[in-house]
Amino acid sequence: HGWRWLQWSLRGDPEGLNPALYGVAHDVTERKTAETALAAETSFRQAMEDSMLTGMRAFDMEGRILYVNRAFCEMTGYRSDELVGQLPPYPYWSVDDHAEQLANLEMVLHGEAPAAGFEVRVHRRDGSVFDVALTLALLSAFASIAFVKFALRPANVGQLKKVARIHRSRTQGAM
Q: What are phi and psi of 137, to 5 degrees?
A: -135, 120
Residue range 138-166: mean pLDDT, rounded = 59
How many alpha carbons lie under 13 Å from residue 51 in its C-beta half-sphere? 6
pLDDT of residue 154: 42
Work out the number of other CB atoms within 10 angstroms of the CB of residue 124: 16
Residue range 78-87: mean pLDDT, rounded = 97
pLDDT of residue 91: 95
pLDDT of residue 82: 97
- CA distance linking residue 125 with residue 106, whole number of Å: 24
Confidence bin at 127 (pLDDT 50/70/90): very high
How many alpha carbons lie under 13 Å from residue 18 in its C-beta half-sphere? 7
Which three-class secondary structure string do you get for 36-76?
HHHHHHHHHHHHHHHHCCCEEEEEECCCCEEEECHHHHHHH
Residue range 21-39: mean pLDDT, rounded = 86
Residue range 105-128: mean pLDDT, rounded = 85
Residue 83 has pLDDT above 90, yes or no: yes
pLDDT of residue 173: 66
Residue 144 has pLDDT above 70, yes or no: no
Residue range 16-23: mean pLDDT, rounded = 75
pLDDT of residue 125: 94
Residue 70 has pLDDT above 80, yes or no: yes
Q: What are phi and psi of 142, to 5 degrees?
A: -125, 85
Q: What are the helix (H) ranges across the chain? A: 29-51, 70-76, 80-83, 98-109, 157-173
Confidence bin at 158 (pLDDT 50/70/90): low
Residue 152 has pLDDT above 60, yes or no: no
**How many residues comprise the chain?**
175
Amino acid, res. 7: Q
Residue range 15-27: mean pLDDT, rounded = 78
For the question of whether the overall pTM of this predicted structure is more than 0.85, the answer is: no
- CA distance linking residue 59 with residue 66, whole number of Å: 5
Give the orientation angle of helix 29-51 with respect to helix 157-173, to 10 degrees.
140
pLDDT cut 90: percent of the chain above it: 22
Helices first, then strands: H and E counts in the chain: 5, 7
